[in-house]
């Protein structure tokens, strides 16, 4: 008898609910796959979105819409007047920021991204060297839809550590953490293709400078434990033009914080790395223990030198992208840390870096 | 055949009752109130709860397993007791109903933002009603099944190991925070639910080891909370945690599988299994107490209680309202969970003294 | 309405009165006479009445109920060799002839295929029952790959012997009950003494003897009269056509019921999880058995959730779709004119129609149905834009998954529940799904089978049972009988008397 009553109640509820407008039926919905943000004068932003179109009757594979407004949500209401689809942001994968905007700070826009419960924490944050909307608008004939193209490009490059994979989560996490600053991949339009333009260094939410793609792997080694990378080095100290290509590069980082007698902070970064030699053009024999040690030493010196150059750059920009502040913080009391203004101190800190590389194996050739 | 609850069932029942919607805000509450490494405060609260449980154990021992109504009615006249009963019953009815409302309102942030929340509330109430009219043994059985249906979610925390860093926890303890008594209370709310075991006395026997079961469930709960909070601290860092309204939902959203993404609404939907038992146990408690006043059929009483609380739950409209109501009621509940056992112990001691005097 | 009630009441009163008068008659047995019997069976053309004038003996029996060879051997041949009327009483002292003093008993005897012998004002019955029945053959509805292939038939005697063959123990007890005011169907309750719990046996006997109905034709019909919760969608007694499965239930301490005229036997108490085990599991290596059992639980999950998740995701929770699937899914949905809920219900109903048609048709035509339904309708529906192809996959896989459940009654219940979940998902998305699943769990936790919990071994929590429920441990580790049967002898390899 009760079951009958319950059944009736359920039926009643069903009747009550007809005409509910919370439905997001797939084909009536426009999924914003990527969004771009550019700066305009007096605090207005240019907001562009790319929507994949899956209707076989429409030739185009995606739609690009653009408008300018005070905020991105306001812009969205503008845009939704232009389309037959209900715009939703639950499938957003890529957020592109123009470089001029990044230089002024992007946190203002991040607020909507974080606040919106439908937006995934895993969307990729990317800086465009130039105008973001322009890049997103452009179709690259030989590649997938531009948004997807960028998404896959970054995802693939991140596996090889040519760039960090910065998501909304990791950006805001590093933004809030006072011991580390966020880094973001930066891309640019190179005519027929899009290419990676290095790593953008942020201080809090403002762009300060970038690291070239060639240095990206060494930067990644410095940044933390590292697996599966490739680096090609020219070894100038050898007699002839010697180059070596290292692959399957694994490394682990150790950071020590010491205080000198005068109270200055000294940070020591120790990195242990192993790698496979996949190419070696030179005179030494890798199978010979002594000669291999020699090569290892040379390579280590070479990488250390690069690393030191990167550290100098970071200190010049005053961006603690490596998270050294965390180690400093964890080595002192809370009150001391509060007193210490890390961003002011950082450029003057004495950072030492030592990389030790071991060759694990060297292929089929002796 | 199965008149008495078994040890395992009580453990699970209390554990599920204790786990409520608070779990999704817990890491933030900890970061907000206790700052760095706030999860340590859970251990303090755990100890306080254990002390509270010891008090209840004392009631159980002294009363030799008699139901609390029997103990009270023996020496206090019904005229005094009835308003007291009524107060407890309405407190529990409101707690259950607001917990349901809170869950619904949070769910509506993720999906169905414009639908009338009371429809969802009604659905939960119907479910709860079907369960309440069954006896407590069957509620425990349902709780056990629900337990297995949500406990695997703890395994999902492995997903965060990749981005977890101990250094983000910082070596500081309770820095960057202003700890007041209020902060402890707000964390304490997450542990509430165990006091329902006061009503379970008539449904258990010696083999159940009731109080041991409740202690175990409290330990399990603390473990769950601590584990979750440590992961949340190491995943977000406490400063970021402070800014997140529902950290657990953000964590859910972070989990992506190749076949399903944006899992938060599915996983949060599963939390209903735990919420429903929490609600049901409060309402069941309210029903048990009301039976003392109004000797009606359980089914009718349950309906009356649900109907009244449903009407009241129309009043709070926003999440903030609901949460404020909940915390006020929660404070009253904390008072009750300490006050009632202490009062009962005194009563029992008096009874014993009188008995010896005679 | 009221008038109708009154009529019903008077009818009931009458039946009660007549039952009471019948009881009174039992107290004073009527002496059976030939004329009485012949008038009782008036207008029964299949009744045979033979008279041997030399010895003054009448035989009365139903022609098609007896085995003629046996009749000749046991009755006619001895009678032919008797030459004088005086020798007849001596002959009838032989043990196959039973003296009957009650007319009612005699009538029942004749009805159940015995021969009534009237001689010298005394009446005897002799059992020469020989019904033509289907021989033991393979089960159609429960097939196994390895293991015995015989199945129960419609005749209780054969079924009993199939079980006795497998359990050669004097402890196997059989109680006979009769159900049905008109049909007087024989129902046998089987249990193994010292293994089965007598509370269950007595409870089953009590429930069966309390049935008030004119006719019972099948086990599945009978057990609806003795269900704990008649309103529930779930079966509360396990039925099986396989003698070895039923024998294993007996040994596990459960009780078994056999209904004459039905090829399936029932077993109780049972739990929800028992419906997902098949005898095949035990005949394979334990790992494979465990794997296929886990597969069935996965299938349960798929059946319940696939289509409803599709509906929920495409209607409300687009953000759950992985990027790679999004375009394909949207594309396949773009031509469909209905909301996902109706699309899914349409396909589900089609599948159910196909299943029903397949079940009603002879197996050769059934295959055609499969091809027409599966390929033609499926393909055409997608091309016509009535459904999306992803939905077809979801519906088809959940339909297939539902057939994985070995017990047909259970798989039918689950398939029925699926519709509820689809509607809930279509109206309230994942919330509806969670509510639906909760409702099922709450309902299940309230169910009992012969008074014992339907969710054993999850609730009550009996982890010891799990090794024979969710997986199958190697046999040497399954040392105890399932806790649900509450056997006085829980340990399997030692019998305590």
Asked whether residue C466 is assigned to any structural domain, the reply reads no
Nearest to B145 among C199, C430, C441 (CB): C441
Residues C436, C361 share a domain: yes
Give the CA-trace dihedral at B196, B198, B202, B207, to 10 degrees.
90
- Note the pLDDT of residue A21: 67
Q: Are C316 and A31 in contact (CB < 8 Å)?
A: no
- Note the pLDDT of residue C98: 86
- Which pair of tokens denotes residue A73? 């949500």
Asked whether residue C459 is assigned to any structural domain, the reply reads no
Nearest to C452 among B1, B265, B276 (CB): B1
What are residue C427's DSSP bridge partners? none
Chains that touch C (3 or more CB pairs under 8 A): A, B
Please calculate the CA angle C241-C245-C246 and round it to the nearest 5 degrees: 75
What are residue C172's DSSP bridge partners? C192
Nearest-Cα residue of chain A relative to residue B109 = A117
| pLDDT tens digits for range C271-328 | 999 999 988 888 889 999 999 999 999 999 999 999 999 999 999 888 888 888 888 8
Q: Hunting for tokens 């994968």 — which residue is that?
A: A93
Q: Could you read off the pLDDT tens digit of each residue along chain B, which spans 358 residues?
A: 346 888 999 999 999 999 988 899 999 999 999 989 999 999 999 999 999 999 999 999 988 888 888 888 888 888 888 999 999 999 999 999 999 999 999 988 888 888 888 889 999 999 999 999 888 999 999 999 999 999 999 999 999 998 898 888 888 888 888 888 889 999 999 999 998 999 999 898 888 888 999 999 999 999 999 999 999 999 999 999 999 999 999 998 888 888 888 788 888 989 999 999 999 999 999 999 998 888 888 889 899 999 998 998 888 888 899 999 999 999 999 999 999 999 999 999 998 888 755 4
Residues in Cβ contact with C362 at an 8 Å cutoff, skipping those fewer than 6 apart: none
Q: What is the C-alpha to C-alpha distance for residues C4 and B202, in angstroms, rounded to an integer? A: 46
B178 touches chain A (CB under 8 A): no
Q: Do A21 and A134 touch, CB atoms closer than 8 A?
A: no
Structural domain that includes position C319 = 292-452
Choose from B11, B265, B276, B280 for mutation: most chain C CBs within 10 A: B265
Q: DSSP secondary structure string, C354-405?
A: HHHHHHHS-HHHHHHHHHIIIIIIHHHHHHTTSS-HHHHHHHHHHHHHHHHS
Q: Are B254 and A2 in contact (CB < 8 Å)?
A: no
- Which pair of tokens denotes residue A261? 């007698």
- Which pair of tokens denotes residue B34? 């206790």
A330 contacts on B by Cβ (under 8 Å): 167, 170-171
Neighbour-count burial for B158-181, b at 16+ CB within 10 Å, e otherwise: ebbeebbeebbbbebebbbbeeee
Residues C417, C312 share a domain: yes
Residues C115, C67 share a domain: yes
- Band (pLDDT 50/70/90 cuts) for residue C45 is confident
Residues C331, C215 share a domain: no
Please calculate the CA angle C414-C415-C421 and round it to the nearest 5 degrees: 85
Q: Which of A263-272, A353-362, C28-37, C135-144 bottoms out in mean pLDDT, i.e. has the lowest? A: C28-37
Predicted TM-score of the model (pTM)? 0.89
C323 contacts on A by Cβ (under 8 Å): 33, 91, 93, 148
Please report the residues numbered 412 through 451 in chain C whose beta carbons come closer than 8 angstroms to any beta carbon of chain B. Answer: 428-435, 437-439, 441-446, 451
Phi/psi of residue C197, nearest 5 degrees: -85, 125
Q: Are B176 and A334 in contact (CB < 8 Å)?
A: yes
Nearest-Cα residue of chain C relative to residue B266 = C430
Please report the residues numbered 180 through 209 in chain C whose beta carbons come closer than 8 angstroms to any beta carbon of chain B. Answer: 199
The bridge status of strand A124-128 relative to strand A94-98 is parallel
Residues C307, C431 share a domain: yes
E strand or H helix at C2, and its extent? helix C2-27
A348 touches chain B (CB under 8 A): no
> What are the CA-CA distances from residue B44 to residues B15, B30, B183, B196, B237 (Å)?
18, 12, 12, 21, 22
Residues C266, C300 share a domain: no
What is B7-357's CATH superfamily? Amino acid/polyamine transporter I (1.20.1740.10)
A90 touches chain B (CB under 8 A): yes
Nearest-Cα residue of chain A relative to residue B249 = A117
- Which pair of tokens denotes residue C399? 């339909």
> What are the CA-CA distances from residue C385 to residues A52, C338, C378 (Å)?
21, 10, 11
Mean per-residue pLDDT, C58-86: 84
Residues in Cβ contact with C349 at an 8 Å cutoff, skipping those fewer than 6 apart: none
Nearest-Cα residue of chain C relative to residue A14 = C427
* Nearest alpha carbon to residue A68 among A50, A46, A48: A46
Residues of B with CB under 8 A from a CB of C: 1-2, 6, 8-9, 12, 107, 111-112, 120, 123-124, 127, 130-131, 134, 138-142, 144-146, 148-149, 256-263, 265-266, 269-270, 272-273, 276
Residues in Cβ contact with C301 at an 8 Å cutoff, skipping those fewer than 6 apart: none
Please say if the pLDDT value at position C330 is more than 80. Answer: yes
Q: Do B207 and B24 touch, CB atoms closer than 8 A?
A: no
Q: Are B265 and C430 in contact (CB < 8 Å)?
A: yes
Q: What is the C-alpha to C-alpha distance for residues A108 and A95, in angstroms, rounded to an integer? A: 14
Asked whether residue C356 is assigned to any structural domain, the reply reads yes
Q: What is the C-alpha to C-alpha distance for residues C347 and C353, in angstroms, rounded to an integer? A: 10
- Identify the three-state secondary structure at position B164: coil
- Band (pLDDT 50/70/90 cuts) for residue A19 is very low
Residues C264, C164 share a domain: yes
Structure-model confidence comparison of residues A64 and C142, the more confident one: A64
Q: Do A265 and A351 touch, CB atoms closer than 8 A?
A: no
A18 touches chain B (CB under 8 A): no
Q: Are C317 and B111 in contact (CB < 8 Å)?
A: yes
Report the gap between the CA of A120 and the closest CA in chain B (Å).
6
Q: DSSP secondary structure string, C215-268?
A: ----HHHHTTTS-S-TT-SS-SSEEES-HHHHHHHHHTT-EEEEETT-S-EEEE
- Note the pLDDT of residue A237: 60
Please say if the pLDDT value at position C480 is more than 50. Answer: yes
Asked whether residue C460 is assigned to any structural domain, the reply reads no
- Note the pLDDT of residue C440: 94
Q: What is the C-alpha to C-alpha distance for residues C277 and C160, in angstroms, rounded to an integer? A: 23
User: The complex's ipTM?
Assistant: 0.92
Question: Where exactly are the structural domains of chain B?
Answer: 7-357
Fold category of A213-366 in CATH: GMP Synthetase; Chain A, domain 3 (3.30.300)
Q: Is B235 exposed, middle or buried (0-12, 13-18, 19+ CB in 10 A)?
A: buried
- Note the pLDDT of residue A289: 87
Percentage above 70 pLDDT, chain C: 93
| pLDDT tens digits for range C141-186 | 888 888 888 999 998 889 999 999 999 999 999 999 999 888 889 9
Asked whether residue C462 is assigned to any structural domain, the reply reads no
A4 contacts on B by Cβ (under 8 Å): none
C327 contacts on A by Cβ (under 8 Å): 52, 54
Q: Which of A27-31, A187-191, A268-272, B189-193 bottoms out in mean pLDDT, i.e. has the lowest? A: A27-31
- Identify the three-state secondary structure at position C294: helix
Q: Are A2 and B113 in contact (CB < 8 Å)?
A: no
Q: Are B2 and C455 in contact (CB < 8 Å)?
A: no
Residues C171, C118 share a domain: no
CA dihedral over C36, C39, C40, C45, signed as positive or negative: positive
B36 contacts on A by Cβ (under 8 Å): 334
Long-range contacts formed by C380-385: CB under 8 A, 24+ apart:
C381/C347, C381/C350, C382/C332, C385/C335, C385/C336, C385/C337
Chains that touch A (3 or more CB pairs under 8 A): B, C
């Amino acid at each position: 008898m009760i079951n009958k009553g319950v059944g009736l109640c359920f039926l009643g509820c069903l009747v009550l609910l007809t005409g509910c407008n919370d439905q997001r039926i797939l084909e009536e919905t426009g999924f914003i796959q990527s969004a771009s943000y550019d700066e305009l004068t007096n605090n207005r932003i240019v907001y562009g979105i790319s929507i994949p179109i899956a209707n076989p009757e429409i030739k185009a594979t995606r739609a690009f819409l653009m408008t300018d407004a005070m905020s991105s949500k306001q812009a969205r209401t503008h845009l939704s007047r232009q389309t037959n689809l209900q715009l939703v942001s639950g499938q957003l994968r890529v957020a592109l920021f123009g470089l001029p905007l990044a230089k002024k700070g992007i946190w203002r826009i991040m607020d909507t991204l974080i606040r919106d419960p439908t937006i995934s924490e895993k969307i990729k944050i990317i800086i465009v060297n130039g105008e973001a909307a322009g890049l997103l608008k452009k179709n690259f004939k030989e590649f997938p839809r531009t948004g997807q193209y960028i998404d896959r490009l970054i995802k693939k490059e991140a596996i090889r550590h040519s760039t960090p994979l910065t998501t909304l989560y990791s950006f805001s996490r590093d933004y809030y953490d006072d011991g580390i600053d966020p880094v973001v991949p930066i891309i640019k339009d190179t005519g027929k293709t899009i290419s990676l333009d290095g790593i953008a260094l942020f201080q809090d939410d403002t762009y300060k400078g970038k690291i070239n793609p060639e240095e990206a792997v060494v930067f990644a080694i410095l940044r933390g434990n590292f697996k599966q990378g490739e680096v090609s080095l020219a070894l100038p100290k050898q007699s002839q033009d010697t180059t070596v290509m290292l692959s399957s590069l694994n490394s682990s980082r150790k950071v020590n914080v010491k205080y000198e007698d005068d109270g200055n902070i000294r940070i020591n970064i120790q990195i242990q790395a192993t790698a496979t030699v996949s190419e070696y053009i030179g005179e030494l024999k890798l199978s010979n223990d002594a000669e291999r040690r020699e090569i290892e030493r040379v390579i280590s010196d070479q990488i250390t030198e690069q690393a030191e150059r990167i550290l100098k750059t970071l200190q010049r920009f005053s961006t603690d992208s490596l998270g050294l502040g965390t180690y400093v913080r964890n080595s002192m009391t809370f009150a001391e840390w509060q007193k210490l203004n890390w961003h002011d101190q950082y450029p003057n800190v004495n950072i030492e870096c030592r990389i030790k590389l071991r060759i694990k194996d060297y292929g089929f050739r002796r | 055949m199965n008149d008495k609850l078994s040890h395992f069932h009580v453990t699970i029942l209390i554990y599920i009752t204790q786990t409520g919607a608070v779990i999704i805000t817990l890491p933030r509450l900890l970061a907000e109130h206790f700052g760095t490494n706030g999860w340590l405060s859970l251990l303090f609260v755990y100890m306080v709860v254990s002390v509270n449980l010891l008090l209840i154990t004392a009631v159980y021992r002294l009363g030799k397993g008699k139901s609390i109504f029997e103990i009270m009615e023996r020496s206090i006249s019904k005229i005094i007791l009835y308003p007291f009963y009524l107060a407890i019953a309405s407190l529990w009815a409101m707690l259950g109903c607001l917990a349901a409302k809170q869950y619904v309102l949070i769910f509506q942030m993720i999906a169905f933002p414009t639908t009338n929340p009371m429809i969802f509330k009604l659905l939960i109430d119907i479910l709860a009603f079907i369960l309440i009219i069954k006896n407590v043994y069957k509620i425990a059985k349902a709780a056990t099944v629900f337990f297995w249906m949500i406990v695997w979610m703890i395994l999902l925390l492995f997903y965060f190991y990749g981005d977890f860093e101990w250094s983000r926890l910082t070596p500081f303890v309770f820095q960057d925070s202003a700890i007041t008594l209020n902060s402890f209370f707000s964390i304490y709310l997450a542990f509430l639910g165990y006091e329902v075991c006061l009503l379970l006395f008539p449904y258990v026997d010696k083999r159940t080891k009731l109080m041991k079961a409740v202690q175990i469930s409290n330990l399990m709960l603390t473990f769950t909370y601590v584990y979750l909070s440590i992961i949340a601290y190491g995943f977000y860092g406490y400063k970021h945690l402070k800014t997140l309204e529902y950290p657990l939902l953000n964590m859910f959203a972070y989990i992506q599988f190749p076949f399903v993404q944006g899992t938060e609404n599915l996983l949060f939907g599963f939390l209903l299994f735990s919420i429903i038992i929490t609600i049901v146990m409060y309402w069941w408690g309210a029903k048990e107490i009301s039976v003392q006043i109004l000797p009606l059929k359980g089914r009718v009483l349950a309906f009356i209680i649900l109907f009244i609380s449903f009407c009241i739950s129309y009043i709070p409209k926003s999440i903030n309202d609901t949460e404020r109501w909940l915390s006020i009621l929660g404070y009253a509940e904390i008072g009750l969970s300490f006050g009632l056992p202490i009062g009962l112990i005194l009563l029992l001691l008096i009874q014993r003294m009188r008995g010896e005097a005679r | 309405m009221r008038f109708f009630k009154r009529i019903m009441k008077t009818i009931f009163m009458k039946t009660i009165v007549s039952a009471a008068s019948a009881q009174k008659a039992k107290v004073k047995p009527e002496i059976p006479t030939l004329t009485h019997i012949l008038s009782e069976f008036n207008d029964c053309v299949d009744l045979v009445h033979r008279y041997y004038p030399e010895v003054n003996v009448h035989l009365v029996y139903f022609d098609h109920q007896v085995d003629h060879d046996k009749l000749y051997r046991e009755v006619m041949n001895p009678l032919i060799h008797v030459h004088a009327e005086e020798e007849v009483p001596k002959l009838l002292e032989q043990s196959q002839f039973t003296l009957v003093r009650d007319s009612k008993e005699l009538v029942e005897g004749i009805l159940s295929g015995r021969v009534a012998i009237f001689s010298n004002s005394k009446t005897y019955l002799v059992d020469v029952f020989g019904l033509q029945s289907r021989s033991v053959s393979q089960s159609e509805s429960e097939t196994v790959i390895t293991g015995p292939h015989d199945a129960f038939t419609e005749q209780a005697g054969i079924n009993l012997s199939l079980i006795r063959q497998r359990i050669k123990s004097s402890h196997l007890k059989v109680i006979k009950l009769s159900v049905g005011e008109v049909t007087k169907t024989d129902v046998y309750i089987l249990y193994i003494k010292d293994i089965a719990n007598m509370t269950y046996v007595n409870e089953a006997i009590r429930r069966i003897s309390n049935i008030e109905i004119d006719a019972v034709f099948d086990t599945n019909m009978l057990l609806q009269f003795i269900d704990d919760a008649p309103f529930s969608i779930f079966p509360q007694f396990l039925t099986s056509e396989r003698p070895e499965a039923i024998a294993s239930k007996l040994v596990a301490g459960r009780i078994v019921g056999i209904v004459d005229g039905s090829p399936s036997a029932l077993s109780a108490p049972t739990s929800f999880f028992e419906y997902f085990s098949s005898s095949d599991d035990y005949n394979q290596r334990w790992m494979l058995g465990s794997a296929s059992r886990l597969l069935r639980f996965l299938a349960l999950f798929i059946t319940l959730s696939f289509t409803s998740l599709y509906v929920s995701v495409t209607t409300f929770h687009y953000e759950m779709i992985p990027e790679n699937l999004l375009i394909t899914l949207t594309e396949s949905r773009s031509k469909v004119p209905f909301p996902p809920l109706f699309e899914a219900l349409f396909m589900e109903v089609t599948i159910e129609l196909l299943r029903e048609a397949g079940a009603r048709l002879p197996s050769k035509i059934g295959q055609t149905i499969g091809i027409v339904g599966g390929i033609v309708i499926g393909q055409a529906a997608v091309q016509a834009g009535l459904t999306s192809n992803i939905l077809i996959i979801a519906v088809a896989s959940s339909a297939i998954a539902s057939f994985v459940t070995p017990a047909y009654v259970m798989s039918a219940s689950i398939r029925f529940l699926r519709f509820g979940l689809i509607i809930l998902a279509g109206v309230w998305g994942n919330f509806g799904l969670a509510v639906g699943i909760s409702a099922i769990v709450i309902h299940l936790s309230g169910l009992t089978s012969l008074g014992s919990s339907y969710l054993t071994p999850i609730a009550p929590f009996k982890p010891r049972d799990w090794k024979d429920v969710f997986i199958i441990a190697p046999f040497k580790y399954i040392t105890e009988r399932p806790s649900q049967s509450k056997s006085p002898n829980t340990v399997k390899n030692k019998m305590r008397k």
